Amino acid sequence: MQDTGKTLPLGTLAKGTRAEITALDENAVKTPLPKGELERRLIEMGFVEGAVVEILHEGFPRRDPIAVRVADHTVALRRAEADAILVRRLDVQKAS
């Protein structure tokens, strides 16, 4: 796998994309939760720095929510909440 280097919110990725989590930033999203609560919940679900995630499914018709594989389980997230997860896209290198 090759790291593409650019950091972007998880909520912007398309189905089938794999990425590595670089940080959590709940200040980047609007949430009714108390300060720190969204980050705590994401960490409890396994969204920690260095974890590899993959977008498995997008809802219809507005691509929301998304199903994300993190570690060995699948989690459904609203894209707005997924935007608090900053990732670096991974590309799979094909063998020559």
Residue 22 belongs to domain with CATH number: 2.30.30.90
In a domain, 84, yes or no: yes
Joined together, the tokens standing for residue 18 give: 């794999």
In a domain, 64, yes or no: yes
Element (H, E) at 23: strand 18-24
Report how far residue 60's alpha carbon sits from residue 66's, in angstroms, rounded to the nearest whole number: 10
Report how far residue 38's alpha carbon sits from residue 1's, in angstroms, rounded to the nearest whole number: 30
What is the domain extent for residue 84?
2-91
pLDDT tens, position by position, 24-75: 998 888 888 888 899 999 999 999 999 999 999 998 888 889 999 998 999 9
In a domain, 96, yes or no: no
In a domain, 59, yes or no: yes
Please tell me the predicted confidence (pLDDT) of residue 96.
44
Please tell me the predicted confidence (pLDDT) of residue 34.
83
Q: Count how many domains the chain has.
A: 1
pLDDT tens, position by position, 61-95: 888 899 999 989 999 999 989 999 999 999 755 44
Peptide bond into 61 cis (omega under 30): yes
